[in-house]
Amino acid sequence: MLKIDNLSFSYGEHWVIENLSLDIDSGSLVALLGKNGSGKSTLIRLILGLLKPNSGTIELDGMRSDSLSFKERSALMSYIPQKSDTVYPSKVIDYVVMAFANRLRLYSHPGKKERDAALNALKEVGIESLSEKNVMEISGGEMQLSMIARSLCQNSKIILMDEPTSSLDFSNQIAVLERLRALKEKGITLIYSTHNPDLALEYSDRILLMKDGKTRSVDNKDELLDGRALSEIYGRKIEVKTIEANGKKRHICIAL
């Protein structure tokens, strides 16, 4: 699905990503962990084609990403920023309908078909009642869900998210992550960055640890339970405790 080969990127002299090679299958849920400035956002922006790598290639569905236009790429991947910085208010439904820009002709406006699809997507993420609300007046979690609905309308196979839960309250974090897990079951590949190792341990099939330009891919999360790799990433001693509540196993990271 997504194949990254020998990718390197630097801001001037500062190498953020060095010789990264990675294969991500469809239907996987991938979490990026690392300190601020470790290159999580940079990697997401590279995959999206918003930044150009110094060297290396990215393949999507067997096609070289840099040979595709933004329009072609948008059919394969969608992007959910940390926060949508809209200047002018619009209705949630109008915001979601924007996903059809890559399929409508230049001068066309979205019609009933597109609106219905957008409403369905809102229903799927559970916020169809907000469709006529102003995007500036809904909560951060509802905004994230609106953006997920927009991604669904984009009909892309890969969704990339920059810290989707960082500005959400606890219950909204869980609501959004549960939604991601449900999408994964439908075969969508999801890649998100996060500052919360507990949530990453719970909601992922695979974790990428990023530090000083090096990226380590952890496929078996049990490897992280001794806390050594996490301690190294965050630069302080971290212990991972496993607890059980209501028959569910949870991992909790404790900084010592």
Partner 1 sequence: MANANLKEYSLQSLGPNAKKKSASSYLIFIFLYLFSFVLAFLIGRFPISPLELVGILISKPLNLDWGYTPQAISVVWNIRLPRVLMAGLVGAALSLSGLIMQTVFRNPMVSPDVIGSTNAAGFGAALAILMGLPAYMISPVAFLMALLSMGLVYLISLKTPRDQTLGLILGGIMIGSVFSSLTSFVKLVADPTDKLPAITYFLMGSLAGTDYRSLFLISIPIIIGSVPLFALSWRLNLLTLPEDEAKTLGVNAKALRITAITLATLLSASTVAFCGLVGWVGLVIPHITRMIIGCDTRKTVFLSPLIGASFLTIIDTISRSISSSEIPIGILTALIGSPFFLYLIAKQGRRENA
Residue numbers at the binding site for partner 1 (CB under 8 A): 45, 48-50, 69-75, 77-79, 81, 84-91, 94, 98-99, 101-102, 104, 106-110, 132-134, 136-137, 154
Q: Reduce the DSSP state of residue 89 to 3 states and report it.
A: coil
Nearer to partner 1, 130 or 200 (CB): 130
Range list of β-strands (E), 29-117: 29-34, 55-60, 63-64, 77-80
Residue with tokens 């099939």: 205
Q: How far is the CB of 104 from partner 1 (least distance, A)?
A: 8
Q: How far is the CB of 199 from partner 1 (least distance, A)?
A: 24
Nearer to partner 1, 93 or 177 (CB): 93
Contact 80, 162 (CB under 8 A): yes
Contact 102, 79 (CB under 8 A): no
Nearer to partner 1, 88 or 170 (CB): 88
Q: How far is the CB of 152 from partner 1 (least distance, A)?
A: 13
Q: How far is the CB of 73 from partner 1 (least distance, A)?
A: 7
Pair of tokens at residue 115: 């609106």
* Torsion sign (Cα): 57, 9, 48, 210: positive
Q: How far is the CB of 122 from partner 1 (least distance, A)?
A: 15
Pair of tokens at residue 75: 């059919």
Pair of tokens at residue 63: 């096609």
Nearer to partner 1, 3 or 91 (CB): 91
Cβ atoms within 10 Å of 129's Cβ, excluding its own: 10
Nearer to partner 1, 94 or 198 (CB): 94
Pair of tokens at residue 186: 């439908």
